[in-house]
Structure 1
């Protein structure tokens, strides 16, 4: 039986029989097949899709139209203010035409039996789940996925990761994606030094070090995601901040002194001697470090073996190698240590990997 998902939340197999049963849900003041009411609509609850620290995600059918939607129900009263913040961001994004920016459609918010509910369009599966059920993506598939995120709306998502990027319909529209979960989203002016945002494996150096941040933090996360879609596993997989910085330092080179000097957490991970910073060794760090590194350096991607189409010609192979080199060049610009030097969305859109100008006239007989 396929796993039911929405908003990156997985329905455990033990819940697969809840349809057509009246099962009391301990974290919701509702039961499967009961009705949920908003001031403007009646919903029939069909299935619990998943759960998180915020509450539950429930698949519902709107009785007036028959439309299937997903309700994010906030069960924890301590999360209520965060939910209201997310609603404010969603209202602003909707006013700016969120669908043009590949952002999940938010339809409504209301309170039901004292619990706050957000109604969204129902999507299919997230990129993490997509990678589990198929081979890693090819460069030709990664290109349009990246392209869909490069329009600025003036808001920093702060938690881009494969779980928060949903495929609209993996069968009919396999490369159509939308961003979800704006619970941590902020305007650039609201990003304060030392605030912990971003999931660990997609956390950029300036956040790890407690440096000033801007929208470049999302570009870093997107660069990590791009490589993960190609490899089928995470680019960085540190178990804590120290192991993340160690992997970044090993793969991408030493962090710039300007970043280290201004980071309020730098001294937790680095020691300064004779005006030069060095990464502390394991014995000097309290937190555990497992030393796991999926790649030694980014250029190792050029030597990695990826799935290639059957019956490739020599020209096809040269074209794919050329595409891979340009892809690595793009990702390297997205993963520059200095946020000031890191590629901006407009520069990414103009890059050869996105425009495909590196193919012009070079491989006339390649598919």
Structure 2
């Protein structure tokens, strides 16, 4: 039997002419469902379990989306194959594309197998945050992935905890995964059955040294050269000022998201909480005001000169049109972290975290630090240090 609908509903369904047997649902999103598949063509001693991301008919038909994800993953793979010498570290934190084909009206991508997301782990804790030693490692690996992407002129545009997944290290051996699947049979109802990993929100620093994650979901990725497909990239709470102002686009978009993500993982809350003031001010007005207040920066003349939306948010003197936005008492990033009284977060951790986040949140995207430069900051450089 082959798959002809959005998702298979019976055991034994296959893909690509019978090559891949569908075993269980791993996850689902708005445009795609991800399945665990068994490559029946592989010999016993070879890797044969993969993730199959099957896009809906509507998503497959879109010109910019799934097809772009396939092309980007292929470009990453080609760059790896063309390079001589050791593999760049960032390759370990990016999914490997093994196969891609159309299954009827659905695009299907066969990729590396992963567990659940960093977002799911964060939400599992009572305070919705993770220990600093865990956050350092996650951000360190994410920066390496971004460094590789940016070298290839690729902007992810959707860096968030939901798109950072734990690798399948627990079942790296074929027999281990086979035994697990026999012990926990597939349930073909509507609920996904993601593969577990060995970590908890309160895993010790020594346990956390074994964590590896990867940055996934390239359906919204863009080339930093050429035509930009839409300007609503990034989740609203992670959206950088250059997107709101339409003042430029490039790898710095991802760096802003890393700063917001670091705060979210450490504190358990979003860094920015913009509100819509109805007739008084818009959500975007409030977000730009919060950006200035939190960073202690003003939008430079250069940024405003490049901003196509300048008149929408600024007066003739370059001052933000706050209208009737309540002006809070400005707090620094460092003070905001300190005010949350996070257990186990030492004074040194607070200062280093705040310095790192501030470096990510330069209002001028041209002055924002690169992924490689951020790896040299003490916050990221201390990844995997248990003391």
> What is the TM-score of this pair, normalised by structure 1?
0.76
| Contact persistence 2:338–2:350 (CA under 8 A) | yes
User: In 2 relative to 1, CA 144–232 (structure 1 residues): closer, same or farther, beyond 3 Å?
Assistant: same
User: In 2 relative to 1, CA 29–139 (structure 1 residues): closer, same or farther, beyond 3 Å?
Assistant: closer
CA drift of 1:49 comes to 3.4
SS at the partner of 2:365? Answer: coil
Query: CA-to-partner distance for each residue in 1:13-35, whole Å, 9 max, x for gaps?
Result: xxxxxxxxx9xx99526333132
Mapping of residues 1-367 of structure 1, within 5 Å = 28=6, 30-38=8-16, 42-65=19-42, 67-77=48-58, 79-80=60-61, 81=63, 82-97=65-80, 100-134=91-125, 136-151=129-144, 152-153=147-148, 154=152, 155-169=154-168, 170-171=197-198, 175-190=211-226, 192=228, 195-238=231-274, 240-253=283-296, 254-268=298-312, 270-273=313-316, 275-281=317-323, 296-300=331-335, 301-308=337-344, 320-356=346-382, 367=387
Distance 1:193 1:122 in 2: 29
CA drift of 1:78 comes to 5.1
- Aligned match of 2:203: none
Number of residue equivalences: 316
Distance 2:11 2:19 in 1: 12
Higher strand share: 1
CA drift of 1:194 comes to 6.9
Query: CA-to-partner distance for each residue in 1:291-342, whole Å, 9 max, x for gaps?
Result: 899x94412213431122xxxxxxxx8xx21132122111101111111221
Q: Which has the higher contact order (CA 8 A, sep 6+)?
A: 2
CA drift of 1:215 comes to 0.8
| Contact persistence 2:11–2:23 (CA under 8 A) | yes
> What is the TM-score of this pair, normalised by structure 2?
0.72
SS at the partner of 1:350? Answer: coil
Query: CA-to-partner distance for each residue in 1:25-48, whole Å, 9 max, x for gaps?
Result: 995263331322315x62222333
CA drift of 1:114 comes to 2.7
- Aligned match of 2:180: none
CA drift of 1:128 comes to 0.9
| Contact persistence 1:251–1:297 (CA under 8 A) | yes
SS at the partner of 2:123? Answer: helix
Distance 1:219 1:194 in 2: 19
SS at the partner of 1:104? Answer: coil
Unaligned runs of 5+ in 1: 1-21, 284-290, 309-316, 360-365
Unaligned runs of 5+ in 2: 81-87, 169-196, 200-207, 276-282
Query: CA-to-partner distance for each residue in 1:155-194, whole Å, 9 max, x for gaps?
Result: 2111111111111154167631101011121221136497
Aligned-CA RMSD value: 3.2
